[in-house]
Amino acid sequence: MAAATSKAILQLHHNHHHHPATATKNGLSISSIHAYQNSPFETHPSLKPSNKGIKLAESLSNLLHLHIERNLNHHPSNVPRIEDKHDTPTMSPKEDISKKWQEIHGSNDWNNLLDPLHPWLRREIVKYGDFAQATYDAFDFDSFSEYCGSCRYNQRKLFGKLGLTGSGYKVTKYLYAMSKIDLPKWLERSRFADTWSKDSNWIGFVAVSDDQETRRIGRRDIVVAWRGTVAPSEWYDNMQRKLEPIGQGEARVEHGFLSMYTSKSESTRYNKSSASEKVMREVKKLVNYYKGRGEEVSLTITGHSLGGALALLNAYEAAKNFPGLPISVISFAAPRVGNIAFRDELYQMGVKTLRLTINQDVVPRMPGIVFNESLQRFDDITGTLEWIYTHVGVELKLDIRSSPYLKKGMNLMGIHMLETYLHLVDGFLDSTTTFRSDARRDVVLVNKDCNMLVDELRIPHNWYQLENKGLERNFHRRWVKPTRDPEDIPSPTVESYSNVLEPTNIMLHLESRKELQQNC
């Protein structure tokens, strides 16, 4: 009897693994077939045990059912199975938005597009968010690396290495910022002296839409993506909390942000020109070139955290230099940058800003936690309030409680991460609805650099890293730190700038060669 019972249980286990399961609303459950119906008892009556044996087999099989269901198919009812999305695309389809691009770009301040969130706008927000995320994914944070503070790949390889070849954009310029002039500790680089640059960090890039993407979005789009920091606690210690003038009027901006954007030094290699000068020179070149071809051109600037602050400074300067050029800022988790006069000047120049914030994120509340735009109501008493901070533009508020995939505790780092923002905006429908069931973005990305996904999903936290943390085996099978390919070493040569744009853009290529020779 014991042998027959064991056979019945083994057969049940075989059936579980080799026959379809019964689908239910909340996931998968094992089909409720009695053990003895699929056991050797029915096929071989001579082996049929006594009633007690059958009852024992049924009892044990029920326990096996329960064990398998709990350990293999268990899922909280409020947490959807991410396995069900494994065979689905990770991005929404690219729609032709050429007839509506001005509205998507903010011409009407995104009226009637945010709540509910228009699917075309959602797709574009995620696109620009991916560009901002690329500035983190390709950045060499490794303090043991002689290239710490640089981009791991040259600009021709960047999108290919990060899986963004389908974005429809090509990188045309890398941007660098000073790292030792009124800048926070997070920008400190290698603990070793012989690093690639003692003074500069890779801070972002300029890209432009290719012909196919240009037709889809209705204009030639120039993108500037700025990298930021990720630790909210650093904002308290590192921000100067001091406003200083920008422009000729009453506009004031935070000292540390402006310093990073405008600092330069003749003694450096990568910042003989400031980030400001580099980005404006590249944007001017692209605007003049494509307008010279009779094309409609837009400028979209994106960034996360500190990168969102740099994006606003970039937009302010671009609006001063290119009157009439459609300029939009898509920022994520951006802090306040300047005072009310700075905000008003941006409005007057036509800059459109869409700020994405998470209710539980502390960074968008800084600086000016006390002295902020809320005091504007007392303007008749306090005056023009040149000394307080204010946000700029339209806000799209997100909330971690809307997603069944996210932990609900106050994980300041995880809440602030850009991938958390992209997850939430991809699932956002409107302010009264929970997370959309057909969200496309891969949920696993949330845990790339944090621990925000609920434990039931069993996704490792902080999983994104170089294989073996960058170590490789050499010819003698010894583990060594590899040397970069010559074209990926952050000491650009003239050859590395070739083929950046389409072959027809000879003029742009020649200008890049000339500028590179001057800078080096």
Any idea which residues carry the catalytic annotation? 305, 361, 416
Place of tokens 């389908």: 166
| Cα–Cα distance, 177 to 199 (Å, whole number) | 8
Place of tokens 């500035």: 135
Contacts of 321 (CB under 8 A, 6+ apart): 280, 284
Q: Are 251 and 338 in contact (CB under 8 A)?
A: yes
Provide the 3-class DSSP secondary structure of residue 176. Answer: strand
**Tokens at 21, concatenated:** 């399961």
Q: Are 327 and 248 in contact (CB under 8 A)?
A: no
Name the residue among 280, 327, 281, 275 with its Cα closest to residue 301: 327
User: Kindly report the CA angle at 51 between 49 and 57, in degrees rounded to 5?
Assistant: 70
| Cα–Cα distance, 18 to 79 (Å, whole number) | 26
Q: Are 172 and 500 in contact (CB under 8 A)?
A: yes
Q: Exposure string (b/e) for 184-217, b if CB count within 10 Å is 16 or more?
A: beebebbeeeebbbebbbbbbbbbbbeeebbeeb
Neighbouring C-beta atoms of residue 439, cutoff 10 Å: 22
Residue 92 φ/ψ, nearest 5 degrees: -70, 155
Contacts of 277 (CB under 8 A, 6+ apart): 264
Name the residue among 307, 301, 388 with its Cα closest to residue 343: 388
Name the residue among 387, 366, 385 with its Cα closest to residue 377: 385
Name the residue among 392, 432, 410 with its Cα closest to residue 251: 392
**Tokens at 87, concatenated:** 């065979």
Q: Exposure string (b/e) for 222-249, b if CB count within 10 Å is 16 or more?
A: bbbbbbbbbbbebbeebbebebeebeee
Residue 464 φ/ψ, nearest 5 degrees: -80, 115
Q: How far apart are the first and last CA of the chain?
A: 86
**Tokens at 443, concatenated:** 């949920």
Residues pairing with 3 in the sheet: none
Provide the 3-class DSSP secondary structure of residue 207. Answer: strand
Residues pairing with 303 in the sheet: 226, 331
